[in-house]
Amino acid sequence: MDQTVFQNLRHQSVGDLRLVIREGSYTGHTAGLGAGMLQANLVILPQDYALDFMRFCQRNPKPCPLVGVSDTGDAMMRTLGRDIDIRTDVPAYNIYRDGKLSAETMDISDLWRDDLVSFALGCSFTFEHAAIAAGIQLWHIDNNTTVPMFRTNILTVPAGPFEGPLVVSMRAIPEDQVDLAVEISRKFPLAHGAPIHIGDPAEIGVADVTRPDWGDPAPVPEGSVPVFWACGVTPQVALEAAKAPLCITHKPGHMLVTDVPQDAENPVLRPST
């Protein structure tokens, strides 16, 4: 990915950005793009699994904040924006078969079926933007790495075949900014809301805070506190447990960029039919 192209994309409308992605001209991550608009994790499942997956999201709203659900077999995400074709408008997809990652692709048109249902789940980009705007420095962003993520000893509330541990992301926050970080993130329930734990990693089953299960390591400097938020990798682990014959997700970091303002009280736009 050419850095100049990325810089140009930053100044495009979300509609134009999605068109560039649809044409296959951009297949990179979406952090920093679509400024001010909600970005979302994507999960596509056969309808046989859809009701249980919606129950799983309802029962685990902090890791799985549901922001949109398609009609069965409809490739358009009609409540999240104008002309969002879920088969082409995400930069990169992961294909799971029987719970195992089997392929990565930039377009899922050839995999689309009449029984598929698409789910969009809120992601942490939203509160990170707000935190940075409030003067909180985030190490992984300043250093262009992926936020460290950890499997915890907290279990999700299961639904049908969907179950597993809560996964959290960790951001080291200066002691005197912890209250501010909590206050800001609490305002964004669709971006995982307030932290689920502040302080001693061992209390939530994290043995070594410098060795994440996913993402890149990040330091916890003297004077900073490790703060843990529910993470969108949680549903991915539950999807692996469910072993659906087919499941399609976005490739991590390569999100669906919507037309919904990230500070919207609710994420539903009236479809233009």
Residues binding its own copies (CB under 8 A):
47, 50-51, 54-55, 58-62, 66, 68-69, 71-72, 79, 117, 157, 159-160, 186, 189, 193-194, 265-266, 268, 270-271
Q: What is the DSSP letter of 194?
A: S
Please give the Cα distance from 183 to 181 (Å, whole number): 5
Q: Cβ of residue 101: shortest distance to its own copies, in angstroms?
A: 26
Residue 154 identity (one-letter amino acid): I
Q: Cβ of residue 55: shortest distance to its own copies, in angstroms?
A: 5
Q: What is the DSSP letter of 73?
A: T
Interior angle at CA 95, CA 90 and CA 99, nearest 5: 135
Which residue, chain included where needed, has tokens 């501010």?
A: 180
CB closer to its own copies out of 185 and 224: 185
CB closer to its own copies out of 36 and 271: 271
Q: Cβ of residue 235: shortest distance to its own copies, in angstroms?
A: 15
Q: Cβ of residue 159: shortest distance to its own copies, in angstroms?
A: 7
Burial of 227 (0-12, 13-18, 19+ CB in 10 A): buried
CB closer to its own copies out of 60 and 224: 60
Interior angle at CA 207, CA 192 and CA 60, nearest 5: 25
CB closer to its own copies out of 71 and 208: 71
**Which pair of structure tokens corresponds to residue 78?**
């009609």
CB closer to its own copies out of 68 and 148: 68
Q: Cβ of residue 187: shortest distance to its own copies, in angstroms?
A: 11
**Which pair of structure tokens corresponds to residue 163?**
């179950």
